[in-house]
Amino acid sequence: MNWDDTSDAAEDSAEARLVGADADGEDQAVEAALRPKSLGEFVGQERVREQLDLVLRAARQRGATADHVLLSGAPGLGKTTLSMIIAAEMGAPIRITSGPAIQHAGDLAAILSSLQEGEVLFLDEIHRMSRPAEEMLYMAMEDFRVDVIVGKGPGATAIPLELPPFTLVGATTRAGLLPPPLRDRFGFTAHMEFYEPAELHRVVHRSAGLLDVRVDGAGAAEIAGRSRGTPRIANRLLRRVRDYAQVKADGAITQEIAAAALAVYEVDERGLDRLDRAVLGALLKLFGGGPVGLSTLAVAVGEERETVEEVAEPFLVREGLLARTPRGRVATPAAWAHLGLTPPPAAAGGGAQQDLFGG
């Protein structure tokens, strides 16, 4: 398995794009201000909320430290937010670090040995931690103990160090990359799903209230429908629509204002942005709907292969607009319809599409 993730660059650019490449200080401050602070304020994810509520409530009743929690799910679904809520609900302090920041076991030992009893340690991007640190973490999670190695070579000795009980909250966008021994040491794993439009609708209303922006039901629905099932995107689109409403109208967000604003920012009715449409457009117009290799497609839109694969494709696949096949990328009939194009007779009448989609 590939532990030193080769797609860091793509992941970083995905993050940059999802939080908005324009994410300035103001945007980041706003994002923090919009974070729900308690489970009750956290919108949607009913099952995860219910399960987590039980885990935390039971630990509180026993006067114990909560079990380790693993949060997995796509970017922007609320993993960092939930980790802070876990600490808040337990009345515990939280220490925040991330996998890439822990390259040596010593880095981890230093953090672990300075934890207070009951403290929450949030380890973001836990799948990107180095192997030696990971092995140290196994023991820390299970036995609340680490072995600190003193000296070098044959004379090196391991000195066991007791740790106070703590709660590890790990977050990952790729649960599949976690080695099973690590995954198994979490007492509770929450898999976060994409949000339903009705849930995003509530996120938009809640955020609008906090930002003191007026939005009517249809305006909120328009934003929610273009947010790719992701609260972070809903909040970001809301801020851009707010800007538009303020400059071009009286500040209130209606369906017309939201639609006009999002047209300016090139986010279409389904939530596709400029890159998504470029990929789909190239696939349809230059390659007749495919199949075409990923590298060729990437060159055609002037992007890195990883960017197309990690940033644009997951959403296009999820929307049923694009399929990954052994012979390459293929557009679905829905893709032609979405871009308002007519499939060429070859694609409509036979060949690969016929086999793939039974049409």
Ligand X SMILES: Nc1ncnc2c1ncn2[C@@H]1O[C@H](COP(=O)(O)OP(=O)(O)OP(=O)(O)O)[C@@H](O)[C@H]1O
Does the annotation list 81 as a binding residue? yes
Nearer to Mg ion, 80 or 254 (CB): 80
Q: Does 235 bind ligand X (CB under 6 A)?
A: yes
Which residues 80-139 are close enough to bind ligand X by CB under 6 A? Answer: 80-81
Nearer to ligand X, 44 or 99 (CB): 44
Nearer to ligand X, 29 or 346 (CB): 29
Does the annotation list 265 as a binding residue? no
Helical spans, DSSP H, in the chain = 8-18, 25-34, 46-62, 79-90, 105-113, 131-143, 180-183, 197-211, 217-225, 231-248, 255-264, 274-285, 294-301, 305-307, 313-318, 333-338, 345-349, 352-357
Q: Which does 17 bind (CB under 5 to 8 A by kind): Mg ion, ligand X, none?
A: none
Which residues 172-191 are close enough to bind ligand X by CB under 6 A? Answer: 173
Which residues 61-80 are close enough to bind ligand X by CB under 6 A? Answer: 75-80
Residue with tokens 């296009």: 316
Rounded least distance, CB 358 to Mg ion, Å? 40
Q: Which does 44 bind (CB under 5 to 8 A by kind): Mg ion, ligand X, none?
A: ligand X
Does the annotation list 60 as a binding residue? no
Residue among 65, 80, 167, 235 that touches Mg ion (CB under 5 A): 80
Q: Does 130 bind Mg ion (CB under 5 A)?
A: no
Does the annotation list 270 as a binding residue? no
Q: Does 251 bind ligand X (CB under 6 A)?
A: no
Q: Are 135 and 145 in contact (CB under 8 A)?
A: no
Residue with tokens 């009951």: 118
CA 201, 203, 209, 213: dihedral to nearest 10 degrees?
-60
Rounded least distance, CB 124 to Mg ion, Å? 6
Q: Give how many residues touch ligand X by CB under 6 A.
A: 21
Rounded least distance, CB 12 to Mg ion, Å? 13
Distance CA 205, CA 352 (A): 45
Q: Which two tokens stand for residue 246?
A: 């303020």
Rounded least distance, CB 63 to ligand X, Å? 28
Residue 94 pairs in a beta bridge with 120
Does the annotation list 248 as a binding residue? no
Q: What b/e sequence results for 291-309 when a residue is b if at least 16 CB atoms lie within 10 Å of its CB, and e otherwise? A: bbeeebbbebbebebbbbb
Does the annotation list 322 as a binding residue? no
Residue 97 pairs in a beta bridge with 123
Rounded least distance, CB 230 to Mg ion, Å? 12
Which residues 184-223 are close enough to bind Mg ion by CB under 5 A? Answer: none
Encoded amino acid at 273, one letter = D
Nearest to 5 by CA among 276, 310, 325: 310
Q: Which does 253 bind (CB under 5 to 8 A by kind): ligand X, Mg ion, none?
A: none
Give the C-alpha distances (Å, rounded to integers) separating 131 from 98, 99, 104, 136, 160: 14, 10, 9, 9, 20
Q: Which residues are catalytic?
A: 79-80, 124, 173, 232
Q: Are 316 and 310 in contact (CB under 8 A)?
A: no
Distance CA 237, CA 243 (A): 10
Q: Are 136 and 146 in contact (CB under 8 A)?
A: yes
Q: Does 43 bind ligand X (CB under 6 A)?
A: yes
Q: Does 230 bind Mg ion (CB under 5 A)?
A: no
Encoded amino acid at 35, one letter = R
Nearer to Mg ion, 228 or 242 (CB): 228
Residue among 17, 35, 174, 324 that touches ligand X (CB under 6 A): 35
Nearest to 59 by CA among 111, 113, 120, 112: 120
Does the annotation list 355 as a binding residue? no
Residue 169 pairs in a beta bridge with 69, 122
Residue ranges binding Mg ion (CB under 5 A)? 79-80
- Binding-site members for DNA are 305, 324, 329
- Binding-site members are 34-35, 76, 79-81, 142-144, 185, 195, 232, 305, 324, 329
Residue ranges binding ligand X (CB under 6 A)? 15, 31, 34-36, 42-45, 75-81, 173, 203, 231-232, 235
